[in-house]
Amino acid sequence: MTSTRTLVRRAALAATATAAALVLAACGADSSDASSDAQASPSASAEATAGAHNDQDVSFAQGMIPHHQQALQMAEMAADRASSAQVKDLAERIRKAQDPEIRTMSGWLKTWGEDVPSAMPGMDHSGGHGSGSSGMAGMMDQKEMDELMKASGKAFDTMFLTMMVVHHEGAVEMATTEKAKGEYGPATKLADAVITAQTAEIKEMNKLLGKNGG
């Protein structure tokens, strides 16, 4: 019986406290607060829809899309030019991982009202800026892509692995910057996934290069 009375008393006290808080809140809210809240809510809801992001997130997506596109082009070459089943398997895994990521990042940029890259640097431009301040670390230039396209068999395997190691290292560098400076949660999460997956693939490719060299 005592415990029941205690519970009832606590409930009454809680209700009283809540009512008092509501009264204080109502008294404390002047017209300027109300108007500022009204003004803030549309922009806040728009920001929530687009996702809180910063310039680094935009740069990451705009840089990583063409970076991934080039990796896909290299992976597609491996399908009919590579002699090693391991190289072909690796290329297929790269394709399956990076193609959906391109679509994901393109979706972010559209949501943010930013330009979605459509052409690969090195395809329409000089590749000289590939590892410069554009955030395209590890990109191959047109000459390197042409050389890879002309190769076949074991020569292709070695060239593909050597180039893809550099390419992956560039992607890891870009993703590391995004993790450190990005604001958009899904983008930093994707960057983390890129670092994990591509670091493992770099080790795998270096082992394959060791076998090829032996």
Q: Can you tell me the mean pLDDT for 104-115?
A: 96
Q: Which amino acid is at 65?
A: I
Q: How far apart are CA 21 and CA 26, in angstroms?
A: 9
Q: Which residue has the tokens 């560039």?
A: 170
Q: How far apart are CA 12 and CA 93, in angstroms?
A: 63
Q: Can you tell me the mean pLDDT for 56-77?
A: 96
Q: Can you tell me the mean pLDDT for 87-111?
A: 96
pLDDT in tens, 119-128: 554 443 333 3
pLDDT in tens, 11-51: 444 544 444 444 444 444 454 444 444 444 455 555 555 67
The answer to whether residues 111 and 51 touch, using CB atoms and an 8 Å cutoff, is yes
Q: Can you tell me the mean pLDDT for 160-189?
A: 97
pLDDT recorded at residue 48: 53
Q: How far apart are CA 154 and CA 84, in angstroms?
A: 7
Task: Identify the band that residue 208 occupies on the pLDDT scale cut at 50, 70 and 90.
Answer: very high
Q: Can you tell me the mean pLDDT for 137-162?
A: 95
Q: How far apart are CA 94 and CA 203, in angstroms?
A: 14
Q: How far apart are CA 36 and CA 38, in angstroms?
A: 5
Higher pLDDT: 134 or 113? It is 113
pLDDT recorded at residue 137: 85
Alpha helices in 130-183 (DSSP H): 142-150, 153-181
- What residues contact 126, with CB distance under 8 A and at least 6 apart? 141, 142
Q: Can you tell me the mean pLDDT for 86-106?
A: 96
Q: Which residue has the tokens 């310039």?
A: 55
Task: Identify the band that residue 132 occupies on the pLDDT scale cut at 50, 70 and 90.
Answer: very low
pLDDT in tens, 175-189: 999 999 999 999 999
Task: Identify the band that residue 1 occupies on the pLDDT scale cut at 50, 70 and 90.
Answer: low
Q: Can you tell me the mean pLDDT for 191-207?
A: 97
- Number of Cβ within 10 Å of residue 167's Cβ equals 25
pLDDT recorded at residue 207: 96
Instruction: State the chain's mean pLDDT as an integer.
Output: 79
